[in-house]
Amino acid sequence: MTMNVVNTATALSEKFGLDSANSRVLVVGAGETGLSVARFLDAQGIRFAIVDSRAKPPLLDKLLENLPDAAVFTGGFDADAFKVATHLIVSPGVSLREDSIVKAHAQGAKIIGDIDLLAACAAAPIVAITGSNGKSTVTTMLGAMAKEAGKKTAVGGNLGTPALDLLAPDIELYILELSSFQLERTEILNASAATVLNISPDHLDRYDNVAEYAREKQKIFRGTGAMVLNADDPLVIDMAVPGRKISTFSINSEAEFHLAWDGHKGYLMQNHKRLMMLDELPLEGLHNAANALAAIALGTAIGLDEQSMCKALKKFKGLEHRMQRVAVKNGITWVNDSKATNIGACVAALEGYTRQVILIAGGDAKGADMNELVPAIQRKAKSVILMGKDGPLIEQALNGSVPIYKAENVARAVKIAAEIADEGDTVLLSPACASLDQYKSYKERGEKFATAVMELNA
Asked if 87 and 135 count as a contact pair (C-beta separation under 8 A), the reply is no
CA-wise closest residue to 367 among 193, 123, 204: 204
Asked if 258 and 249 count as a contact pair (C-beta separation under 8 A), the reply is yes
305 vs 230: CA distance, rounded Å: 22
Contacts of 283 (CB under 8 A, 6+ apart): 137, 291, 292, 316, 317, 318, 323
| Secondary structure class of 194 (helix, strand, coil) | strand
Order of strands across the sheet that contains 48-52: 71-74, 48-52, 25-28, 87-90, 110-112
CA 199 to chain centre: 12
Report the binding-site residues for ATP.
Answer: 131-137
The DSSP secondary structure of 415-450, one letter per residue, reads HHHHHH--TT-EEEE--SSBSTTTSSSHHHHHHHHH
Asked if 18 and 87 count as a contact pair (C-beta separation under 8 A), the reply is yes
451 vs 125: CA distance, rounded Å: 42
CA-wise closest residue to 435 among 317, 345, 347: 345
9 burial (CB, 10 Å; 0-12 / 13-18 / 19+) is middle
Asked if 109 and 201 count as a contact pair (C-beta separation under 8 A), the reply is no
Contacts of 61 (CB under 8 A, 6+ apart): none
| Secondary structure class of 278 (helix, strand, coil) | helix
CA-wise closest residue to 213 among 158, 131, 134: 131
CA-wise closest residue to 229 among 261, 193, 260: 193
CA-wise closest residue to 300 among 268, 330, 278: 268
Measure CA of the first residue to CA of the last residue in the chain; give whole Å. 54
- The catalytic site residues sit at 135, 158, 203
- Signed CA dihedral, 308, 309, 310, 313: sign only: positive
421 vs 408: CA distance, rounded Å: 19
Give CA separation, 303 vs 144, 241, 251, 299, in Å. 15, 21, 23, 6
Report the binding-site residues.
Answer: 131-137
